[in-house]
């Protein structure tokens, strides 16, 4: 059961109209008539909440239940606009009294926060709203609890609500600003690609490249996930798009349902780490780290390549260990003909990359690339522009925007509380204290916090919360700020593979019909080399192109590549033939040894890998065919 309504009739018409008009107004305010960022964010979030109350019921709908929007949800949707109307009555005075709000400001703002938490609960479940409630409770603890308890800050309700709803430090802070400026445009870009068959293009190219190889469906999963994820930026969407084809094929050729789902989940997670789009988190990273988006993209290239080297190493090892033969999938059409047939896809992606590299305003680049895809699609895929498909694309755009917008806004509650209470200073001191003992301890603690958050809340929210607390203290310990953000970003996505709440792995398990928890644990094992990669980025920042000469960058890339390959082969359990337990452990430890840039550890790691490979190769030659 789900609480997401299958809207129809007048409800669907109203929902689509509000959503499309709201997004068109966003474009108008972005390009033609800019207004105050606070007012703009307030309008954006208000419309998102209206759409959420119409889309999601307060509880799961049993089969056969009415999908109509009841009167009370229309009332809640209308109430979501009250703060926007109140602020617009005299906006100049409203902003001036943010430091000392009047009682109506406080109560209207408090109602807005409660409505936001309820909309978030409906769209994403209880956990993120509960974190927001806990943050509010902490901020108000001095106001609520007896003074003798001496717990938490001494802040009034007026101060907390005013900060959250009347300034750009809370609900309308950087995460929401990024969502309204950039993220919904990239969601539109992905929907435009899907409308004209971009997923089919990536799938056919992948089959052309890898369909004939041993374990071809698994390699197709890796390649198509990298290609589609490059522009979709969503690991779950990646699973649902490509996994429908690759998971059954992998299961049929011998990987089994659980392993097939786990491989697809891990490969799809890499899509959100792959330039040029890299998901909503990377757009927010550019704002939080104060780095141009082109710099984020450039820094992510080598780690993305290493991620797919690690996944490919596992797939190769698993293929050998399971004795899977040559693939049977073929694509007769030459790659150049496929590309020619889908030229708007390539044109849109190339234009987006070119504009990013040229430091063009990101929102303009995304909008132009979307226009190229849609106009080109009229020439190559006119049949795709049916009303049902167009309606599906518009619904996908609205759904994607409201989910991300709600996650960003509720995360903004934590951002505001951390700022207004000084909690960030205390948490930063804790991380720095660990780091003075050992940087590795600080990194491990940060990793665990991000994964725990990511199990409970969307990856983008986990990244925002953890980056607000941990990125600056890691930078104080000598970690480049961008490396700290990238480390947190990677683990916010890996949390989607980690049980007990592994959304990406569970989505793949749903397609495969496998046990979700077994799938999640196996996906975590497959992704273990990528966990190692995140530490490589911090301890060898030349992988992010942050420092070092060309030779140092090349050396770091090669040693990291060998390290994650060895780790992946060790996890898979085969090179030329199956590895024994000790050989597998040796390969994994050798991969870990290469994380440290020291000469001694590199030599020990390389020597161990060479020894295991030589022994495995000799054993495979002595075995009968």
Query: Does residue 380 sit within a domain?
Result: yes
Express each pLDDT in 570-590 by its tens digit.
Answer: 999 999 999 999 999 999 999
Which of 95, 125, 155 is the last residue before a domain boundary? 125
Q: Same structural domain for residues 121 and 184?
A: no
Asked if residue 596 is part of any domain, the answer here is no
Q: Do residues 328 and 463 share a domain?
A: yes
- Based on the domain organization, do 117 and 192 belong to the same domain? no
Let me know whether 381 and 477 are in one domain.
yes
Domain identity same for 467 and 530? yes
Angle between helices 293-322 and 343-357 (to 10 degrees): 130
Q: Quick: pLDDT tens for 30-87.
A: 888 889 999 999 999 999 999 999 999 999 888 878 889 999 999 999 999 999 999 9
Asked whether residue 605 is assigned to any structural domain, the reply reads no
pLDDT at 148 > cutoff 80? no
Kindly state whether residues 194 and 90 are assigned to the same domain.
Answer: no
Tens digits of residue pLDDT in 512-545: 888 888 998 999 999 988 888 888 888 888 889 8
End-to-end CA gap in the chain:
51
Backbone angles phi, psi at 61, to 5 degrees: -95, 120
Angle at alpha carbon of residue 304, lines to 300 and 307, rounded to 5°: 140
* 281 and 429 share one domain: yes
Quote the CA–CA distance of 125 and 130 in Å, as a whole number.
9
- Domain assignment of residue 184, yes or no: yes
Cβ atoms of 189 and 202 within 8 Å: the answer is no
| Pair of tokens at residue 172 | 């309308």
Domain boundary among 522, 539, 556: 539
Residue 333 lies in a domain: yes
pTM for this prediction: 0.78
The domain tally of the chain equals 2
Both 54 and 188 in one domain: the answer is: no
pLDDT, tens digit (0-9, with 9 covering 90-100), for 77-134: 999 999 999 999 889 899 888 888 999 999 999 999 999 999 999 988 888 898 889 8
My answer on whether 231 and 360 are in the same domain is yes
Report the range out of 40-54, 413-427, 431-445 with the highest average pLDDT.
Answer: 40-54
Structure tokens, 572: 């898979």
- Whether 307 is covered by a domain: the verdict is yes
Task: Please tell me whether residues 381 and 443 are part of one structural domain.
Answer: yes
| 56-61 vs 2-4, strand pairing mode | antiparallel
Cα gap 381→393, rounded to integer Å: 15
Whether residue 317 sits in one domain with residue 438 = yes
**Residue at a domain's end among 125, 155, 189:** 125
Crossing angle for the helix pair 184-195 and 9-27, to the nearest 10 degrees: 120
* Residue 533 within a domain: yes
Helix residue ranges per DSSP H, 573-598 = 581-593
The answer as to whether 302 is a domain residue is yes
Give the domain extent around 321.
Answer: 179-539
Residues 73, 188 within the same domain: no
CA distances for 191 relative to 356, 360, 414, 547, angstroms: 20, 22, 31, 37
- Tens of pLDDT, residue by residue over 340-356, are 888 998 898 889 888 87
């Amino acid at each position: 059961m789900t609480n997401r309504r299958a809207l129809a009739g007048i409800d669907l018409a109203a929902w689509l109209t509000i959503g499309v008009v709201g997004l068109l107004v966003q474009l108008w305010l972005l390009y033609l008539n800019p207004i105050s960022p606070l007012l703009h964010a307030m309008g954006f979030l208000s419309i998102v909440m209206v759409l959420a109350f119409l889309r999601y019921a307060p509880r799961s709908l049993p089969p056969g239940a009415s999908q109509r929007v009841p009167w009370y949800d229309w009332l809640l949707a209308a109430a979501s606009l009250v703060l926007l109307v109140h602020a617009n009555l005299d906006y100049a005075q409203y902003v001036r009294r943010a430091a000392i709000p009047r009682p109506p400001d406080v109560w209207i703002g408090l109602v807005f926060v409660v409505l936001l938490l309820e909309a978030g609960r409906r769209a994403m479940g209880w956990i993120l709203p509960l974190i927001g409630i806990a943050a509010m409770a902490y901020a108000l603890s001095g106001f609520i609890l007896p003074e003798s308890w001496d717990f938490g800050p001494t802040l009034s309700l007026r101060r907390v609500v005013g900060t959250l709803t009347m300034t750009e430090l809370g609900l309308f802070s950087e995460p929401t600003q990024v969502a309204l400026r950039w993220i919904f445009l990239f969601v539109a870009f992905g929907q435009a690609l899907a409308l004209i068959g971009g997923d089919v293009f990536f799938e056919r190219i992948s089959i052309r490249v890898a369909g004939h190889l041993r374990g071809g469906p698994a390699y197709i999963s890796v390649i198509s996930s990298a290609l589609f994820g490059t522009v979709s930026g969503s690991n779950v969407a990646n699973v649902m798009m490509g996994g429908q084809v690759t998971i059954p094929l992998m299961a049929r050729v011998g990987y089994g349902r659980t392993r097939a789902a786990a491989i697809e989940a891990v490969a799809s997670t890499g899509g959100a780490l792959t330039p040029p789009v890299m998901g909503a988190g990377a757009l927010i990273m550019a704002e939080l780290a104060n780095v141009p988006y082109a710099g984020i993209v450039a820094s992510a290239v080598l780690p993305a390549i290493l991620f797919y080297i690690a996944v490919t190493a596992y797939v190769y090892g698993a293929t050998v260990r399971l004795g899977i033969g040559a693939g049977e999938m073929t694509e007769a059409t030459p790659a150049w003909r496929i590309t020619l047939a889908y030229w708007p896809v390539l044109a849109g992606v190339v234009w987006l990359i070119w504009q990013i590299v040229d430091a063009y305003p990101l929102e303009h680049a995304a909008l132009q690339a979307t226009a190229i895809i849609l106009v080109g699609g009229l020439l190559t895929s006119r049949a795709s522009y049916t009303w049902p498909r167009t309606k599906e694309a518009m619904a996908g755009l609205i759904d994607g925007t409201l989910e991300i917008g709600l996650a960003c806004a509720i995360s903004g509650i934590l951002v505001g509380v951390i700022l207004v209470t000084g909690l960030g200073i205390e948490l930063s001191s804790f991380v720095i204290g660990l780091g003075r003992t050992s940087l590795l301890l600080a990194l491990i603690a940060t990793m665990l916090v991000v994964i725990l958050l990511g199990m409970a809340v969307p990856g983008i929210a986990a990244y925002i919360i953890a980056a607000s607390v941990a990125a600056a203290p890691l930078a104080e310990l000598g970690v480049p700020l961008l490396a700290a953000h990238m480390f947190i970003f990677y683990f916010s996505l890996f949390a989607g593979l980690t049980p007990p709440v592994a959304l990406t792995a569970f989505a793949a398990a749903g397609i495969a019909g496998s046990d979700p928890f077994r799938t999640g644990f196996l996906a975590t094992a497959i992704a273990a080399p990528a966990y190692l990669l995140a530490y490589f980025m911090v301890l060898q920042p030349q992988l992010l192109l942050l420092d070092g000469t060309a030779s140092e960058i090349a050396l770091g890339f090669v040693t990291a590549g060998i390290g994650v390959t060895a780790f992946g082969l060790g996890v898979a359990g085969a090179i030329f033939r199956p590895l024994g337990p000790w050989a597998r452990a040796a390969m994994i430890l050798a991969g870990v040894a290469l994380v440290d840039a020291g000469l001694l550890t590199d030599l020990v790691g390389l020597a161990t890998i060479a020894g295991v490979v030589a022994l495995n190769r000799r054993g495979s030659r002595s075995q009968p065919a």
